[in-house]
Amino acid sequence: MVAAGARGPSRSPADRGRRAVAYTVADIAATIGRRLVGGASVRGDGETRITGLAPIETAANGELSHLSGRSYRRFLATTGASAVLLRPEDAGQCPTVAVVVANPYLAFAHASRLFDSKQRPAPGVAPGAHAHARAEIHPTASVAPGAVIADGARVGPEVAIGAGVFVGESVAVGAQTVIHANATLYANVHVGARCVIHAGAVVGADGFGFTPDETGALQAIAQLGGVTIGDDVVVGAGTTIDRGTLTDTVIRNGVKIDNQVQIGHNCDIGEHTVLCGRVGMAGSTRVGRHCVFGGGAGVAGEHPITICDHVQVGAVTTITRSIDKPGVYLGTVLHNTAQRWKRTALRLERLDEYAKRLARVEAKVEAGGDG
């Protein structure tokens, strides 16, 4: 048992399920420095060997960590890491090798990929997979057992199709995209290059479109559009992206979508926007670039909603009208004890009555003042 605040035993690369790799700190700094504004400089022994990554409070010998937030500064003096990615102002307090960068978390993101040793599967269509005779599969692509590639589908160079994946008619999958097990791409879905679609995601199912007839019975509206996904997009596990009614639902370059997100038909999600888990978007929502939606946020209104660039929406916030100014938007009632929350809920039900009473009081005060 490890006491609170104590550093537990470090796990080896093999324990963490990755192939053992090693780099010198100098090599890491040179590699990530080419991708960072301002580069990366080493203070200390650049020949120190690094075999893995770890949080600053638990890192051990041979591991690289990062100091990206002020709340973690308290761990710097006692860290067991062999090297730390940090800002210039923190370098003087670093007890080990310092890799000085302007943005430690971004530097950590680049460094993490050096230690990602997941193996790409061998190219070819595996036994047990089914590829239609008119499907086009690049010779460098891989298709795992149980996958189905339908008529007219096009699978690009170095694409990896996982076990049980369904790639529907006339689907196009761009170069170096990875589609994990049991994901489904319905017909007429176009996926760009270097995307990741995680297990169980469903892209291109019918949008939720019905209208009542004279008897009140609901009649389906044929969903004739598709889905267009740009380059460098991530679609989380269990996420659903509906096809458009007449034109495509569009997910633009660099969008990152977490697990269990629902995107309705004909939505258009702008470049480099982030949708956290359980976000739900009603059909025809338009979202700008570089927006962030916290977990459980929802977008739905009487009319299609448009959200401008650089908007942040807090967790579990519901957006019911368009937003045309960048900023942070919150709409969650804060939690409380059950008893106090029930009282608050009862008062909220009478909010309109209170507003009318207040208006009458104000009118009387103003009338008295005039007299």
What is the set of active-site residues? 265
Question: Using the 8-state DSSP alphabet, how is residue 367 labeled?
Answer: H
Contact 183, 203 (CB under 8 A): yes
132 vs 241: CA distance, rounded Å: 25
134 vs 269: CA distance, rounded Å: 32
Q: Is 211 helix (H, G, I), strand (E, B) or coil?
A: strand
Question: Quick one: which of 51, 78, 45, 83 has its CA closest to 65?
Answer: 83
DSSP string, 128-149: T-EE-TT-EE-TT-EE-TT-EE
| Angle at alpha carbon of residue 134, lines to 129 and 136, rounded to 5° | 70
Contact 162, 147 (CB under 8 A): yes
151 vs 134: CA distance, rounded Å: 5
User: Cα torsion for 195, 200, 201, 206, to the nearest 10°?
Assistant: 140
**Torsion sign over Cα 86, 92, 95, 98:** positive
